[in-house]
Structure 1
Amino acid sequence: MQLFNDFCNYTLDENGVLNSFQLDYPENYNFGYDVVDKMGELAPNDIAMEWTNPDHLHKTFTFADIKRLSNKAANAFKNQGVKKGDRVIVILKRNYEYWYIVPALHKLGAIVIPATNMLTLDDITYRVDTADIRFAVSTPDGDTAETLVKASKERTILEKVFVVRRDVEGAVNFTDEIEKADDNFERVETLAKEPMLIYFTSGTTGYPKAVMHDHTYTLSHIITAKFWQDVKEKGLHLTVAETGWGKASWGKIYGQWLCGCGVMVYDFDHFSPDKLLRVMEKYKVTSFCAPPTVYRYFIKRGMNNYDLSSLKHITTAGEALNPVVFKKVFEQTGLRLMEGFGQTESVLMIGNLVGSEEKVGALGKPTPLYNTMIVDDSGNELPANEVGEIVVVPQENQHGIFMGYCGDEKLYEKVWRNGVYHTGDTAYKDEDGYYWYVGRIDDLIKTRGFRVGPFEIENVLMKHPAVMECAVIGVPDESRGQAIKATVHLAEGYTESRELKRELKTFVNSRVASYKHIQHLEFIDEMPKTISGKIKRTDIREIDRNKIC
C-alpha cells in the first residue's frame, strides 16, 4: 500500500521526471497516526522492517507490528509522564526499538531529538541545556545509559532516563514498561505545523545547531524516497546512516513507509564492506543509499563478487561524488549512482531524479520543493559556470525547510538574511541547469588570489590507484595566503614513502592549473569522519594547527 498519493499532487514531464510537486494534508497530520497506523490497517502483513546484526540475530516487523508496538510505547511513555511538547533525546543507534519508539513519540506530540551514542557527558548536557530536554531513551549497548543518568543528576530538567532491554541504576527499563502497556492508544491532537523533530548538527565553527522541523517534514521526504531513491512498494530499502544522524530521516523511515517500502537495518558498530554487502545479498535489498566513502570501500572489495541482482537503484549524498567512484560502481553493478544534495535543515534540494539524464559528477537539478539559485556575495544571481553560494528563495506553501534553530534566533536570522536561506555550500550551474558542487564556503581555499574548491583537486587525486581516501584543505602560507595540502589514506597494498609522496603530487600537479598545485601532502592511517562516514576537514585542520603549536 502506497500512502504518498493521499498527501501530494505531482506531475511528470514527457521523460517521466518529476516536474511539479505540492503537498496536500489535513491540519492535524501526524506521521504516527496517518501513516504508521493506516499502514497497519491497510497493509498489516507487509514488511515494515528487516533487522539483523553481526551476530546474525534477525527480526522482521510488519506494519501491524509497528502499529501495535508504537501504541504500547506511547502508552508506556504516557504512564511515565511524557506528554505533548516534551523534548526527548533518543539514542538508539540502529537498535530495532527506534522504529516504534519514534512513531510513539510522534503520536504523543513529543519532540524527538535523535542523537549518536558517541556523545560525551558534556555533549549531552549541552543538548539538554539548549533544547530543554526532559526525557532520554537509551540503547542497551555500551555506557550510554550510565552517561545519561549522570547527565540527569547534573541537569535536573532531565527528569527520567529510559533504557531498552536492560536494567540500569537510576533509569527505567523501558522494554518492561512497553510489555506491560495497553496496545490501544487514543489519539492526541497535534497540528501539522507544530514542532516534531530536532537534529543537532555540527558546522565548521561553534557549537552544534539545533535544527527544528514540523510534522510536514515527513511528507516532504516523499520526493527523497519516491523520486530520488526510487523505492518500491513491498521493496526493501537500505540507507547506511545511524539513527543519530539526519540522513536516517531521509532513508530509514518516513518517505520509505509513505511509499509502502520496507527498510533494511543492519545494526553494526564497526563498518565492514564485506558484511554489509552480504546483508544486501541475503535480504535482497532493492534500493540502497550511502555516502561516497562507503562506495569507495565497496569497489575495492568488488561489488561484482556478490549477488546484488535484486538491487535496482542506488543513490549517494553527504559529500561530493568523485567521477572515478561512479565509473567503478557502474562497471561492477551496471547501476548508475544517482547523486543528491540536501542538508539537515532540508530534504532533497537538488538531485538526479528518477528518469533524468544524469551528468556524472553533477548534483543534479533543483527539486520542485525549492526555488534554488546560485548567488554572489552581494546576493545577485550568477550566470552559468560562475561559482557562488546555493540559496533557497521562499515560495508559496514552502515545505521541507526547517522551522528554526532552537535557542539561537540570531543564527536563524543570519542564515535567512535578505529574505533567502543561505546554505553555506558553493556550486556552479551549467548551461543545462545542472548544479556542480564546489565545497563549503569555509572549505574554499584562497591561494594567490584564486578561490579553489577542494573537491576538484580530490577528484584528480582519487584517480591514482594508491589513494583510498583523501581530503584537501588550505594551510597558512606567507606568499600565497593559503597553500594547498592533501591528506591521504592509502589503499591496501601501498606503503607511505617519500617517493610515493612525490609521485602523488606530480600526478595531480601535472593535471591541474599551476595555482591549484598541491604544495604539501601527508599520509594518515585513518580519516576522521562523522557517524555518516563523511570526512571531517575541520578535524584535519585542527590536527594541523596542533602540529604548528
Structure 2
Amino acid sequence: MPVPDPAHHVRDWLATYDTPTTSVAHLLCDRHDPHTVATTEIGPTLTATTLTYGELAHRSRALATGLADLGITTGDRVATLLPKGTDLTVTALAVWRLGAVLVPLLSSFAPSAINERLTNSRARLVVCDDEYRTKLDPTPHTTPTWDIATTGTHPLRPGDHTLTTLTQHTTTPTVTDTPIGGHGTLAILYVSANVGPPRGVPVPARALTAMHAYHHYGLGVRDDDVYWNTADPGSAYGLYHGLISPLLAGHGSLALRAGFFDPELTLDVLGLYGVTNLAADPTTYRTLRAATKTLPPEVMVQRLTSAGEPLAPDVIDWVADVFGVPVRDHYGQTELGWCIGVPNGDTPAPATPLVPGAIGPALPGWNIQVLEAVSDDPAPLGTYGRIAIDLANSPLAWFEGYLDNEAASQVRFTPDHAHYLTGDTGIQDRDGQIFFSTRDDGAIRTHGYRIGPTEVEAVLNDHPAVEECGVYSIPDEIAGQLIGARIVPAPGHTATPRLADDLKEWVRTRFATHAAPQVVDFVDELPRTASGKMRRSRLR
C-alpha cells in the first residue's frame, strides 16, 4: 500500500486548522466520537480515572459556564498550576471554549517565578491544585490582580473559587464556543533566556497543524496505540504533545499524576497499561538505564521518542538493546514545535540511513538550512554554521515574536525575515542530515528543564551574603547538566558549607526547585575579560 504524501497531509491540516472560524474546543473535543477515551489519569498507586470525549465535552462546557460567570471572555489569560490529568484537560478545554488563552505554569516554580509570569501574561485567573495554593499567597513585593480557583471542594482562602462550585449549574450549560481563527492565540508559554527575564511565546491556533503533523509523523501515534508522554504540561513538549496533539487526533493518552520521576513507577505504568508509544525527555532514558538491567516481560513498547536535548550514543545503544526498538531523537523549540529527526510515523523510508552523530533530517513540513556564521547565505555542505528554518518553504512555521518583547523577537529572524534563527549551530550534510555543535544562547538543560543562567544569578544576587556570582553548567550522566555557582561573598560574610546550603535553598524557594545549584563554590573574584564582562567559559 503506498505511503500517503506528507505534503498533502500538511496542506489538508492547514486548510482545517488555519481558518477565520477555527474553534479550538471543536477541533480537540467536539468533533470526536463521544464514547472514545480522551485521557486516562493514573494516580501514584496506579489507579486509573478515565475521561471520554463526551464526558470531556460536558465537563468543560460546565466549567466554561462557571468561568464566564467570573467574567472570563475572549482573549483573557487563564493560568494553570495543575499536574497532568483530568483537571488540567477539562480546564484547558473550558478556557478554549471561551476563546480565552491558556498560560500553563510549572509546579516546580517558586512563588516569585510564578508571580513574574502571571504579571507578564496579565492573567485574569489562576486555576491551581490544592497542593500548590500557598505559592499564590500575596507577599510584600506582590500585588495580585488575578482571581484564584482551586481543585478542592472548599475554598482554602477567603475569596477563592473552586472548580466544584464553578461547575454547579442547575440547568444544562449553554456557553457558545468562541472561534478565535487561525491567528488567534490559544496559549502563552514561557522560555528561559540567557540574558533577561523569561520570554512569553504566544501560540496561535494555526500551530495546531505543526502539532498534528509531529504527532502523526514524528511520534508516529496510531489509532490503536497506548500513548504516553511523560513531559510536564507546563513545558512545550508536555502541552503540545502530552495534552493537545492526542486530542487533536482523537486519540487517548495517559497522564501520570505523580511528583518527580520514579523509574520503578515508570516501568509499572509501561507494563500495567500496555504502553506501545512512549515520548520522554533524555533524563527519563538516562535514569531508566541507571536503574534497570532488563525490562519486565509485560513491557512491549513499539515506538520510542526523545526530545529536549541530544541523546548520547551510549544511551541510544542501551535503549535499542533493552527495549528492542530504536529511540528516535527529535529536535524542536517552544517557538517551533518539533522539526528535525527520524520519523516514527508512516513516511517513506529515508534515502540514506541515519549517520552516527546526526540527529536526522527535517521532519515533514519543515525546511532546515545552515547559514554562514557572519552572513545570511547558506553555508557550504559539511561546514559549521547557524541552524535556521527556511520560512518560505516551511508551511508548519508559526512563530511571529515574543509577548511584548520586540528586541528579543528581532534577533530570532534574519533582517529579511526569510529565516528563523534557532540559536543552535551545526553542520548539514548532502543528504540533509543535521549534526549539532553548540547552543548559542547558553541555556542550561537539567532534568529536562531549560534554565537561563542569569535567572539564577539574579536570585542569588538578592541574597545579602552574595557580592556577585556566576552560574554555569556541569555535565552529568543522569541529568544531562547540573547547575553550578561561583560566589564572591559580600563583605562581612564568611564562606562556609552552611552558607552554601543556604544559597541552594534560597534559589529553591525563590525561583524553582529544579534551578537550585547542585554545587556552590566560593571565590575571591569571577573571571572577566579586559572590558569587565564575565567569562562564562572559565567559570567551570
TM exceeds 0.5?
yes
Query: Aligned AA for 1:174?
Result: L
Pick one of 143, 146, 167 that aligns with 1:178.
Answer: 167
How far did residue 320 of structure 1 move? 0.6
**What secondary structure, in the 3-state scheme, does the structure 1 residue paired with 2:84 have?**
coil
Secondary structure of the equivalent of 2:325?
A: coil
Aligned to 2:403: 406
Say which of 61, 68, 71 aligns to 1:78.
Answer: 68
In structure 1, the partner of 2:138 is 150
Please say if residues 225 and 256 of structure 1, whose CA atoms lie closer than 8 Å, have aligned partners that are also in contact.
yes
Indicate how the Cα distance of structure 1 residues 548 and 231 shifts in structure 2: closer, same or farther if over 3 A, else same: farther
Residue 23 of structure 2: which of 26, 30, 37 is its match?
Answer: 30
Correspondences of 1:33-112 after superposition (within 5 Å): 33-39=26-32, 43-112=33-102
Distance 2:365 2:213 in 1: 8
Q: Does 1:347 align with 2:346?
A: no
Per the alignment, do residues 15 and 121 of structure 1 end up closer, same or farther by CA in structure 2, a change over 3 Å counting? same
Residues 15 and 35 of structure 1: CA distance in aligned 2, closer, same or farther (over 3 Å): closer
Task: Please list, as runs of the form range in 1=range in 2, the aligned pairs for 1:48-447 lying within 5 A after superposition.
Answer: 48-141=38-131, 144-150=132-138, 154-158=142-146, 160-166=147-153, 167-170=155-158, 171-180=160-169, 182-302=172-292, 304-353=294-343, 354=345, 355-356=349-350, 357-377=353-373, 378-395=375-392, 398-418=395-415, 419=417, 420-443=419-442
CA gap of 1:485–1:399, structure 2 versus 1, over 3 A, is closer
* Paired amino acid for 1:372: I
Q: Deviations over 1:310-330 (max 9, x none)?
A: 421110110111111111111
Between 1 and 2, higher relative CO (CA 8 Å, sep ≥ 6) is seen in 2
The SS at the match of 1:365 is coil
- Partner secondary structure for residue 156 of structure 2: coil
Q: Structure 1 counterpart of 2:359, which letter? A: L
How far is the alpha carbon of 1:299 from its aligned partner? 2.2
Kept in 2: contact 1:87–1:113 (CA 8 A) = yes
Partners of 2:49 and 2:94 lie apart in 1 by: 20
Cα distance in 1 for residues equivalent to 2:310 and 2:513: 10
Distance of 1:547 and 1:208 partners within structure 2:
30
Mapped to 2, the partners of 1:422 and 1:206 lie a distance apart of 19
Deviation at 1:397, TM superposition (A): 8.2
- CA displacement at 1:51 relative to structure 2: 0.9
Structure 1, unaligned stretches of length 5 or more?
A: 1-11, 445-453, 456-472, 474-483, 492-524
Higher mean displacement: 260-269 or 23-32: 23-32
The one-letter amino acid paired with 1:257 is L
Residues 225 and 275 in structure 2, CA contact (< 8 A), matched pair in contact too: yes
Amino acid at match of 2:151: V
The number of aligned residues is: 455
Q: Note the C-alpha offset of 1:428.
A: 1.1
Distance 1:54 1:78 in 2: 33
Percent of aligned pairs sharing the same letter? 20
Given the superposition, is the C-alpha separation of residues 254 and 114 from structure 1 closer, same or farther in structure 2, using an over 3 Å criterion? same
Letter in 2 for 1:435: I
Which stretch shifts more, 46-55 or 360-369?
360-369
1:534, 1:19 → 2: CA distance?
Answer: 43
Q: Distance in 2 between matches of 1:396 and 1:151?
A: 49
How big is the shift at 1:74? 0.9
**Aligned counterparts of 1:151 and 1:280: Cα–Cα separation in 2:** 42
Shift of the alpha carbon at 1:81?
A: 1.3
Measure the CA separation in 1 of the matches of 2:473 and 2:79: 39
> Normalising by structure 2, what TM-score?
0.77
* Distance in 2 between residues matched to 1:486 and 1:202, nearest whole Å: 18
RMSD of aligned residue pairs (Cα, Å): 3.3
Instruction: Give how far 1:399 is off.
Output: 3.6
Give the Cα separation in 2 of the matches to 1:317 and 1:485. Answer: 19
- Work out the CA distance in 1 between the residues paired with 2:314 and 2:393: 40
Is the CA contact (8 Å cut-off) linking 2:295 and 2:323 kept in structure 1? no
Distance 1:486 1:123, change over 3 A: closer
Query: Take 1:262 and 1:245, find their aligned partners in 2: how far apart are those partners?
Result: 20
Aligned partners of 1:385 and 1:428 also within 8 Å = yes
Give the drift of 1:124: 2.5
Quote the Cα distance in structure 2 between the aligned partners of 1:16 and 1:186: 36
| Distance in structure 1 (CA, Å) of the matches to 2:246 and 2:366 | 21
Aligned to 1:516: none
Preserved contact between residue 146 and residue 168 of structure 1 (Cα < 8 Å) = no
TM superposition shift of 1:331: 0.6
* Residues 429, 436 of structure 1: 8 Å contact kept: yes
Q: Offset at 1:178?
A: 1.8
Deviations 1:493-517 (A, max 9, x none): xxxxxxxxxxxxxxxxxxxxxxxxx
- Classify the secondary structure of the residue corresponding to 2:195: coil
Whole-angstrom CA distance in 1 between matches of 2:362 and 2:195? 27
Instruction: Kindly state the Cα deviation for residue 487 of structure 1 after the two structures are TM-superposed.
Output: 4.0
Structure 2 gaps, min length 5? 446-452, 454-471, 480-503, 527-540
The C-alpha deviation readout for 1:177-225, integer Å capped at 9, x for no partner, is 2243744432223222111110011122221110011111223211211
CA distances 1:85-132 after superposition (whole Å, capped 9, x unpaired): 111111102242011110111111111110012222321232233221
Does the CA contact (< 8 Å) of 2:108 and 2:514 recur in 1? no
Query: Is the Cα–Cα contact under 8 Å of residues 193 and 441 in structure 2 kept in the other structure?
Result: no
Change (3 A) 1:397 1:29: farther
> Does structure 2 conserve the Cα–Cα contact (< 8 Å) formed by 1:428 and 1:437?
yes
Post-superposition offset of 1:238: 0.8
Q: Tell me the secondary structure at the aligned position of residue 392 of structure 2.
A: coil
Q: Equivalent residue for 2:458?
A: none
More displaced, 236-245 or 294-303? 294-303
Distance 1:98 1:359, change over 3 A: farther
Q: CA deviation at 1:302?
A: 2.9
After superposition, give the CA deviation of every residue in 1:262-285 in whole Å (9 maximum; x if it has no partner). Answer: 111111112111111111111111
